Amino acid sequence: MDRKEKAFKKVVEPVFRFEKGRMRASDHEPVQEYPLSLIVNGRELATLIASPHDLRYLVAGFLQSQGFVKSLDDFQLFSVCEDFGVANVIIKGELPEQLKPALTSGCGTGISFNLHQKIDIREKKVNNRESRFYPGDLFILMEQLARYAGEYRKSGGIHSAAVGSGKEILLFSEDIGRHNTLDRIAGEALFKDIDLEGKVLLTSGRVSSEMVTKAAMLGISLIVSRTSPTDLAVRLAREAGITLIGYLRTSGFNVYTHPEFLVTATPDSFSEKVTAVILAGGKSTRMKSNKALLPFSGELFIERIHRQLSAMFPEVMLVTNTPELYRFLPCRMVPDDFPGMGSLAGIHAALKHSKTEYIFVVACDMPYLNSQLIRRMILKTDGSDVVIPRTDNGFEPLHAVYGKSCLPSMEEALRNGKVKIVACIDWDKATVVTKEEIAVDDPEFHSFRNINTPEEYFRFREEMEQRCVEAEEENCSAQR
């Protein structure tokens, strides 16, 4: 496949919809943006950024409006190759030796320089809390942008943009040209010595590839718009590590790239120093199908677990060697360094990639998680390498907290072919949660139940349906 053909090849990626405090997979498709190289009389004249339809009309009209042709008779060769994004035209007469470009004030200059060069931006400091964002803060920032945009209310037809940090707008600009607003912000930041790395860019207009390219060069981490991004903008944002959000309204917004940088837990979350981890590497031999993808009550097992954990932790991470199966989850995914070596390899990978000192680990087939019990365990991390529950069935290593100090012993065990988790624990630095403590929050010890067989799965469904019936009956009795 040719380089340009690869560049224009459409890649379908999941979009996530944030609404009512939750983020779920959606199916919105951004508008298409197509770069077309225009070669006239053997000379590369411009790159036209446009919608990918009726390109011959675009080329002919562009050359006529620039005064290079007056009628179809002025064309000696007219070829548009959509597969390679090139228009090759030969016209009567010669082009001027020197062309003086005029950058227009519209929604783009129409000409792009170095658009397809790989974006070279500084690596994002993902462990810096300023590079993670709370949805509530984004609504506040967009409301501020609307208040700042006084010129729009006076005359209309003017674009506005701002750069913010946290809940505060730092820089604001307006212009009749959408792209000019970002250039103005960049210039003001230069004069005022304001570092834009890790900040939020808010814009009233559509997000194009040019906007994303400029934002990436400035180190912007997140772009928010009230309207849609283009498909090329989405691709460039994904490559640049930028979170791209569109259609932000009071009801919610769409997330097109890197949803893992959004924190759906409350800002005062108790577990700021802990990352939640879901292990999804099991073979599901007894179930004979992927346990993580079992449906229940309108969602999958792993969606249920992710939803509960994302309301409690700043980040939820998935350890899997098959990330293509879980693209509907808005979280970071990491593989095992020691594939085929079970849950210990998954915990090792999670600790290695975690940005926090501790991780809370659960398996993807544990749908009975108890938030109060998890909180109790997190509060016991101070001074401990491991916090692990113990019941009459023994230790529960797949519902436990691990610190990065466990990494050396785990790696040594894996290199020696040993896969038993509890054998890697330094018990002098471990805190055991007793069954009496567990019973305070989870008297039936449901937190540790796995769904391993079809029989257990159907029993689980029956139990949950019965609970719903009982709850509804209690509600009706209370209303009487």
> For residues 402 and 423, what is the distance between their CA atoms, to the nearest angstrom?
14
Contact present, 1 and 83 (Cβ < 8 Å)? no
- For the chain, the structural domain boundaries read 9-28+122-261, 274-464
Q: For residues 259 and 16, what is the distance between their CA atoms, to the nearest angstrom?
A: 8
Residue 288 backbone zone (phi > 0: left; psi -120 to 50: alpha; other: beta): left
What pTM did the predictor assign? 0.77
DSSP state of 124: P
**Residue 145 contacts by C-beta under 8 Å, 6 or more apart in sequence?**
160, 161, 162, 169, 172, 202, 204
Between CA 173 and CA 337 the distance in angstroms is: 47
CA distance 469 to 480: 17
- pLDDT, residue 7, reads 42
Q: Position of tokens 């979009």?
A: 15
CATH of domain 274-464: 3.90.550.10
Q: Return the pLDDT at 122.
A: 42
Q: How far apart are CA 430 and CA 426, in angstroms?
A: 6
Question: CB count, 10 Å around CB of 207?
Answer: 28
Per-residue pLDDT of the chain (480 residues; tens, 9 = 90+): 443 444 444 445 789 989 888 888 887 778 788 888 999 999 988 888 888 888 888 888 888 877 888 888 999 999 999 888 999 999 998 888 777 665 554 554 444 444 444 455 444 433 344 478 889 999 999 999 988 886 555 556 678 899 999 889 999 988 877 777 888 899 899 889 899 999 999 998 889 888 898 899 889 999 999 998 999 899 999 999 999 999 999 889 999 999 999 988 876 666 678 999 999 976 666 666 788 888 877 788 899 999 999 989 989 999 999 999 999 999 999 999 999 999 999 999 999 999 999 999 999 988 889 999 999 999 998 889 999 999 999 999 999 999 999 999 999 999 999 999 999 999 999 999 999 999 999 999 989 988 878 888 888 888 777 776 655 656 555 555
Please provide the size of the chain in residues: 480
Q: Tokens at residue 444, please?
A: 């039936």
Architecture of the domain made up of 9-28+122-261: 3-Layer(aba) Sandwich (3.40)
Domain pair 9-28+122-261 / 274-464, same fold: no
pLDDT of residue 121: 43
In degrees and rounded to multiples of 5, residue 343 shows phi and psi of -65, -30
Q: Enumerate the active-site residues.
A: 107
pLDDT at 466: 73
- Provide the pLDDT for residue 124: 42
User: For residue 257, what are the contacts with CB-CB under 8 A and spacing of at least 6?
Assistant: 13, 234, 237, 238, 242, 243, 244
Instruction: Please give the pLDDT value at position 26.
Output: 85
Phi/psi zone of residue 219: left (φ > 0), alpha (ψ -120 to 50 degrees), beta? left
